[in-house]
A = this chain, B = another copy of it.
Amino acid sequence: MKARIVVTLKNGVLDPQGKAIEAALKSFGIEDVSGVRQGKVFDLEVASENREQAEATLKAACEKLLANTVVENYTVEIA
């Protein structure tokens, strides 16, 4: 099964990278973009027998490695 995991910063967590991107966009003359927040996306294959097992595997992958659950949220989409 194909799946996509999106990891984003929790609300309230400062995103200096997002601020830097916003400033860079302005320097390129792109003025009307604000509140930029950067995250990560993982596209992958999961070899599970059923959807529930795939979700459990991907949840474990996020909790153990892909997301820092103290400051990040993650969403799992299974195609």
**Residues of chain A at the chain B interface (Cβ within 8 Å):** 6, 8, 18, 21-22, 24-25, 28, 30, 32-48, 57-58, 60-61, 64-66
- C-alpha gap A48/B6 in the complex (Å): 26
In addition to A34-B46, A36-B42, A39-B41, 18 A-B residue pairs with Cβ atoms within 8 Å of each other are A8-B41, A21-B42, A24-B65, A28-B61, A28-B65, A30-B64, A32-B47, A32-B48, A33-B44, A33-B46, A34-B44, A35-B43, A36-B44, A38-B40, A38-B42, A39-B40, A39-B43, A41-B41
Q: List 19 A-B contacts (CB under 8 A).
A: A18-B42, A25-B64, A28-B61, A28-B64, A30-B61, A32-B48, A32-B57, A34-B45, A34-B46, A35-B44, A35-B45, A36-B42, A36-B44, A37-B44, A38-B42, A39-B41, A39-B43, A40-B40, A40-B41
